[in-house]
Amino acid sequence: MEWVFNSYYTLIAATIVLLVGKIMVNKIKFLQNFNIPEPVAGGLVAAIILYFLHSFYGVSFKFEKPLQDTFMLIFFSSIGLSADFSRLKAGGLPLVIFTAIVGFFIFIQNAVGVGLASVLGLDPLIGLMTGSITLTGGHGTAGAWGPDFEKNFGLTGATGLGLAAATFGLVAGGLIGGPVARRLINKMGRQPLDEASIKAQEAAYDDDDPGKSTEDLFEHAEQTRLITASSAIETLAMFAACLAFAEIMDSIDKEHLYDLPKFVWALGGGVILRNILTIVFKFNMFDRAIDVFGNASLSLFLAMALLNLKLWELTGLAGPVTIILLAQTLVMVLYATFVTYVLMGRNYDAAVLAAGHCGFGMGATPTAVANMQSVTERFGASHKAFLIVPMVGAFFVDLINVVILTSFVNFIK
């Protein structure tokens, strides 16, 4: 027996999932410590409930996907619309070096995933789903590539597998980042801040002035962000333009180009639109609105994707996939310690960058920021790390990931 939910009921169910997730994150310390997103917490509970209903009563649920796909495209458009080329000068050479380090790690991550999947007798595409698609890419990229693998390559349960692997990565990234950085910092002999210094640092970050620049929002995570009705309408118009661009380019791509996933064109459209408006027309972008709409869309997309997570399709893969994910975690620790830290200068900033790389190399940019905050709260600020990691983790990594993943898919198939 299958219960079908149309788009309206799917949206209602997704908001319930988000509310449940919010309550869980507020009440459960473990979820707070490892920065587990609210849609992931609530969505996994929903997926487990649906699994038991299917197992004991034979009931399954089908949630229609048009809204889910739209929210996914809006999220990737927000990444593109946040990519201001004029800000790249501030990062300088360290930004270029760190981007190269991250790009090479994405290649290694996929090579490890595909290699182990082949050794364990699995489809090599499962290696990509337990590689940079889910670990470096996170839930958003997993939800975007999963349906593509299911439709074009017949990889049953790819989306569910991807979301499960991405959840593992979030937890693992939060677990390993702090200890890796602290071990490196201890080897330097750097001492933690005393109580007076910690209070002074906290006071410096306590600023809710809405007129203040938002370029350091990751360091000032609690800073107030105000949105007006006119800025909201302007932002929605830009999202609509990105989605229209993605629709047009996706049709052309399928006929004449490489048949890339549609979200790639939404992201690219955002990059083009952002920089034409700011460079050519000197338009003042309202980044707060882009960030809010993008994050809200990501939350709704993840909630809907997890509602469609069919756990019963994944039980046979649990053992081999766990082996691959544990191996990926070890590779991340070694790479952050002996490559990221060394090439970024073997100093305090490099140690904080290593913690950040563990965060988005296994999970997502918010995990990276949480890792760095846990280190800097104890050992002092690192403005260099907070400048570089958000730029690379929120934008460059997605573009590099798409290029490398497309190459791997073409090679495998």
**DSSP track, 174-234:** HHHHHHHHHHHHHHHTPPPPPHHHHHHHHHHH----TTS-STTTTTSTT------HHHHHH
Count of all residues that appear for the chain in the document: 413
What pLDDT does 88 receive? 63
Of 217, 218, 242, the C-alpha closest to 367 is: 218
Asked whether the beta carbons of 78 and 58 are under 8 A apart, the reply is no
d(CA 93, CA 88): 10
What pLDDT does 412 receive? 80
The upper half-sphere exposure of residue 305, i.e. CA atoms within 13 Å in the direction of its Cβ, equals 33
Mean pLDDT, range 67-81, rounded to an integer: 84
Asked whether the beta carbons of 368 and 360 are under 8 A apart, the reply is yes
pLDDT of residue 18 exceeding 70, the answer is yes
* Opening angle at CA 348, ends 344 and 351, nearest 5: 60
Per-residue pLDDT band for 255 (boundaries 50, 70, 90) equals confident
The dihedral built from the CA positions of residue 36, 174, 101 and 94, taken in this order, carries a sign that is positive
Is 50 strand, coil or helix?
helix
User: Of all residues in the chain, what percent carry a pLDDT higher than 70?
Assistant: 84
- How many CB atoms are closer than 10 A to CB 296? 15
What pLDDT does 236 receive? 93
pLDDT per residue as tens digits for the range 209-238 = 444 444 444 454 445 557 788 888 989 999
Range among 90-94, 115-119, 199-203, 402-406 with highest mean pLDDT value: 115-119
Asked whether the beta carbons of 291 and 235 are under 8 A apart, the reply is no
Residue corresponding to tokens 């990229």: 141
pLDDT per residue as tens digits for the range 323-351 = 999 999 999 999 999 999 999 999 999 99
More confident residue, 33 or 362: 362
Mean pLDDT of the chain: 80
pLDDT of residue 117 exceeding 50, the answer is yes
> CB neighbours of 30 closer than 8 A, spacing ≥ 6?
36
d(CA 330, CA 315): 24
d(CA 210, CA 269): 29
Per-residue pLDDT band for 92 (boundaries 50, 70, 90) equals confident
pLDDT per residue as tens digits for the range 139-156 = 777 877 888 888 888 787
Task: For residue 41, give both structure tokens.
Answer: 């917490």
Report H helices in 276-396: 287-307, 318-335, 341-343, 348-362, 365-379, 383-391
d(CA 62, CA 277): 41
More confident residue, 211 or 80: 80
More confident residue, 198 or 15: 15
What pLDDT does 19 receive? 93
The amino acid at residue 158 is: A
d(CA 375, CA 372): 5
d(CA 402, CA 74): 17
What pLDDT does 275 receive? 87
Mean pLDDT, range 350-358, rounded to an integer: 91
CA distances (Å), origin 409, targets 67, 78, 208, 324, 400: 27, 26, 46, 18, 14
Mean pLDDT, range 186-190, rounded to an integer: 83
What pLDDT does 315 receive? 64
Asked whether the beta carbons of 311 and 44 are under 8 A apart, the reply is no
Mean pLDDT, range 15-38, rounded to an integer: 79
Mean pLDDT, range 251-264, rounded to an integer: 74
pLDDT of residue 207 exceeding 70, the answer is no
Mean pLDDT, range 192-197, rounded to an integer: 62
What pLDDT does 197 receive? 54
What pLDDT does 368 receive? 79
The amino acid at residue 72 is: M
pLDDT of residue 244 exceeding 80, the answer is yes
More confident residue, 1 or 109: 109
Torsion, CA 353, CA 356, CA 361, CA 362, rounded to 10: 150
Is 6 strand, coil or helix?
coil
What pLDDT does 212 receive? 45
Residue 5 phi/psi, 5-degree rounding, is -110, 125
Task: For residue 274, give both structure tokens.
Answer: 């952002």
d(CA 8, CA 243): 21
More confident residue, 337 or 364: 337
pLDDT of residue 73 exceeding 70, the answer is yes
